Amino acid sequence: MREPGRQPGVVRRRALVTTSIRSFGASAGVSTISADSVAEALEAGQVLVFPELAFVLSAQTLLLIAAAAAMAKNVSFDVNTGRLKGVKAPDAVPSPLRDAMSSFAEFSRQTVVRLLPHYESSLVMGRTSFRPAEIAGRRTSWRKDDTRLHVDSFPSTPVHGRRILRFFSNVNPDGKDRHWRVGEPLPRVAPRFLPRLHAPFPGAAALLEAMRLTKTRRSLYDHYMLQLHDAMKRDADFQARTVQAEFRFPPGSSWLVYTDMVPHAAMSGRHAFEQTFYLPVERMCDPSKSPQRVLESLVGRALV
């Protein structure tokens, strides 16, 4: 249960950060929110939070899916094939977990379409994820450490410039928040890392595809975004000193953000759902604000 009067928001600010949370409270139902204001805020690098927009699961279902995924860091679900990954013997997983993943995918799609109807015809649904494990204290490599600020880029799944839009819901049954750090948007932080970004070796993208290390051929955009992802995570000074703020998302809240634009780090929490969407740059209200256009302006060439 959420503590009375608890609202998501800033826990601590190190400085004024241009990336901010924009909260849509209970009085502003999803269907009444201006689509233009949502798109403008998202494309500018804001995190949009909906304190009362809950993905509702029964207590019994929560217990069942938590038990089914108890040993998993992340369970993923492909809405197009119904395939589960991240659990042992996925075909033997109890149906409540598969049903919950499918239900969240549809809940997310309906919510995003209501908020952003002009995106609907071009949105592509990616993976649905359930994060049952506690983030804090988990041992992993620096590259896979999601407690470090980073922008999203997927090594094996090139996006070819498409935007990565993600919808999150905290379903924690114990009243625990999802705790994030959030940095300034990409146009403000990318110039810091420009000297560390280099062009790929000739033929590298074709070789990665031939070796099946990538699902499709990696574009120049994907190459530079992966370098940026790694450079952010590897840079201890950036992690400690960059302008940033901390936010807590209580159970029963949901939030929406372009994770390829906003440096973010998940510091603690468990039992959260995530849905990934992809959107072509040209379908944005302002394509000039896309990471692809930002990086192209920095490196001085088209990234295709």
Specify the CATH number for the domain of residue 151.
2.60.120
What is the count of structural domains for the chain?
A: 1
Q: What is the pLDDT of residue 4?
A: 37
The amino acid at residue 217 is: R
Dump the DSSP string for 208-243: HHHTTSSSSPPPHHHHHHHHHHHHHHH-HHHHHHSS
Residue 7 domain-assigned?
Answer: no
- Measure the CA–CA gap between 92 and 210, rounded to whole angstroms: 33
Is position 286 within any domain? yes
- For the whole model, what pTM was predicted? 0.91
Handedness of CA 290, 162, 146, 192 (dihedral sign): negative
Quick check: 231 and 143 in contact, CB under 8 A?
Answer: no
3-class secondary-structure state, position 22: strand
pLDDT at 285 (0 to 100):
94
Within-domain flag for 2:
no
- The neighbouring-strand residues paired with 180 are 247, 266
239 lies in a domain?
yes
Please state whether beta strands 163-170 and 272-279 pair in parallel, antiparallel, or not at all (unpaired): antiparallel
Q: Kindly list the distances between the CA atom of residue 284 and the CA atoms of 30, 189, 256, 262, in Å, as whole numbers in the listed order.
A: 20, 21, 16, 16
Angle at the Cα of 86 (from 252 to 74), degrees rounded to 5?
35
> At 268, is the secondary structure helix, strand, or coil?
strand
Q: Which pLDDT score is estimated for 198? A: 93
Dig out the tokens for 265 from the structure. 């780090």
* Tens of pLDDT, residue by residue, the chain (304 residues): 343 334 455 444 555 455 688 888 754 556 668 888 899 999 999 999 999 999 999 888 888 787 777 667 788 999 988 888 887 766 666 688 888 999 999 999 999 999 999 999 999 999 999 998 899 988 889 999 999 999 999 999 999 999 999 999 999 988 999 999 999 999 999 999 999 999 999 999 999 999 999 999 999 999 999 999 999 999 999 999 999 999 999 999 999 999 999 999 999 999 999 999 999 999 999 999 999 999 999 999 999 9
Q: Which amino acid is at 242?
A: T
Gyration radius (Cα) of the chain, Å: 19
User: What's the pLDDT score for residue 94?
Assistant: 65
Side chain identity at residue 201, one-letter code: F
The residues, ordered by sequence, that sit 6+ positions from 240 with a Cβ below 8 Å of its Cβ are none
188 occurs within a structural domain:
yes
Alpha helical stretches, state H, the chain: 35-43, 59-68, 95-115, 186-193, 204-210, 220-234, 236-241, 291-299
Any domain includes 14: no
Indicate whether 58 belongs to any domain: yes
- Whether residue 180 is contained in a domain is answered as yes
Range of 255's domain? 20-299
Contact at 8 Å (CB) between 274 and 128? yes
